[in-house]
Every structure is written in structure tokens, then in C-alpha cells.
Amino acid sequence: MLTAYDATMARLLDRAGIDALLVGDSLGMVIEGHETTIPVTLDAVLHHTQAVARGARRALVIADMPFLTYQVTVPEAMRNAARLIQVGGASAVKLEGGLPVAETVRRLVEAGIPVMGHIGLTPQAVHQLGGFRTVGASGREAERLLQDAQALQQAGAFAIVIECIPAETARAITAQIDIPTIGIGAGAGCDGQVLVSYDAFGLFDGKVPRFVKRYADLGEQMVAAARQYIAEVQQEKFPAAEHSVRVNSAGGKGR
């Protein structure tokens, strides 16, 4: 799984064969420029989900439920999740937390909405956690993570993202539940993996977690391409004759 926020990215990742596209609330950081995911609104996720759903052909599109769109009351969570599915075009939603959100997950699943859980480092709880930190290093935290995973499974979640926990804890949780675990910073013992695409492709120029592998340096390539464009415009090398529209070439369709 990779994150996607627009139709072009969705089309490209779909073409590459990705199984699932997550319209993560990480968009608050990599698209909107916030320090955390907390300011992200339902409307923002909805907007980006619509774009991703238009671009995806085969991949499962999962929309993240933003902070406080599912914790206040179950009916509110159901209405908000329904918008992401009905209006946004997602096929599933993801929400953060374990035992405390299990009842909400159960009700969403009963209503026909597939739900992906998310435990470990849950970025919407960054202030409660005291920063973006590893969770589950102590025996007590590891035990609680397992209870959270079991509660989500029992509630009907179809998969669980496990973020930033020790590899051995993630492996143990994966072995003790039947639904797939999707790791991020949780080692190789999970059933699947997810990364924020802007981190993985080198597009995000802010601080990137240590567990990210950079598969490309698209940010640097964009800077170099933009510099070349600026220089060619200044030097009047662009547009060349072949890039100019001629009177008798009008009438063509699209771009």
C-alpha cells in the first residue's frame, strides 16, 4: 500500500501494480504543509479521495478518517464514513485507535463499510503520546497493542496498520491475529507494508521518519527540471518552433 492524494499519482501507482491506495491524513503534512495531521478536515480528505478514486482503476481506495470525525459519537462517525464512501468514492475507511474505537468499527462494519484499523504510533494522538515516537517498546505497551489489535479484529476490521513499533512486537501481533497487518516502521514481520508516497519518492522536503526507504529522488529531479525550464525561458530557447501553436493546427482535441 502507498498513499495517494491526486488522480495522476493514483493512476501511476495503479499502473505500477499497487494493491491499495491510502488517502492518508498525512496529506495535512505533505500537501497542506502542517506540522501534524490534526488540522486535516473531512472535506479535505473527501476532496482528495474523489481525485484518487477517479485515477484508480484496480487498487483498493481507502480514505483516512481525520481527527475527531469518528470519536465524538457513533452516528457522527457513521455519517462521516458514509460521505467518504458515497461522495468520495472510497471503498473503505481507516481510523486510528484500538479498544476505544472498537464499538465504532463494529457499527461501521455492520452498516457495510469496510474498516482498516491503525495502532501503534497514531499520529492524531501525537500530543498524548508526547511526540512522534516508537510505541510498544515496554511489555505493558506491547500487551496493550495486542489487545487493541484483537479488539479491532473482533469488531470486524479487515486489516490493521501498525505504525512505528518494534519489529518483534509487530511480528508477535501478526502471528496472533487472523486479519492482515500492514506495517510502517514495524519491521518485516507484518503481512504488508505501507509508506507515504511523498517520503518514499523523495518529494517531501521536510523531516522524514528514519524507517522510510527512499525509492527515488523526484524532488531533486523536479528542482533540476524547473531550473532548466527557467534558464531556457530566460535564454529564449523555450518555446521552440515545435512548441508553438499555429493557426491551422487549431481544432485538435485536448492537450
Q: Residue 113 or residue 200: which is nearer to ligand KIV going by CB?
A: 200
Hey, CA dihedral for 100, 106, 108, 114, is it positive or negative? positive
Residues forming contacts to ligand KIV in the complex (CB under 6 A) are: 3, 22, 24-26, 64, 118, 161, 184, 194, 196
- Nearest approach, Cβ of 28 to ligand KIV (angstroms)? 8
Judged by beta carbon, residue 177 or residue 184, the one nearer ligand KIV is 184
Is residue 51 within 8 A of residue 6, CB to CB? The reply is yes
DSSP E strands: which ranges in the chain? 2-3, 20-23, 60-64, 92-94, 115-120, 159-163, 181-184, 192-193
Outline where DSSP puts E strands in 13-85: 20-23, 60-64
CB nearer ligand KIV, residue 37 or residue 104: 37
In the complex, minimum distance from the CB of residue 194 to ligand KIV, in angstroms, rounded to a whole number = 5
- Which helix H or strand E contains 72, and what residues bound it? none
Quote the CA–CA distance of 238 and 71 in Å, as a whole number.
Answer: 54
Closest distance between ligand KIV and the C-beta of residue 212, in Å?
Answer: 10
Q: Do 187 and 170 touch, CB atoms closer than 8 A?
A: yes
Residues whose CB is less than 8 angstroms from the CB of residue 150 and which lie 6 or more positions away in sequence, other chains included:
176, 177
Compare residues 14 and 25 and give the one whose CB is closer to ligand KIV.
Answer: 25
Minimum Å gap between C-beta 141 and ligand KIV is 19
Instruction: Please say if 110 is a catalytic residue.
Output: no
- The enclosing H or E element of 224 equals helix 218-234
Min separation Cβ 203 and ligand KIV, Å: 14
Residues facing residue 160 across a β-bridge: 117, 181
- The active-site residue, picked from 103, 163, 232, 242, is 163
Instruction: For ligand KIV, give the closer residue by CB, 26 or 91.
Output: 26
Position with the least CB separation from ligand KIV: 24
Active site members: 163
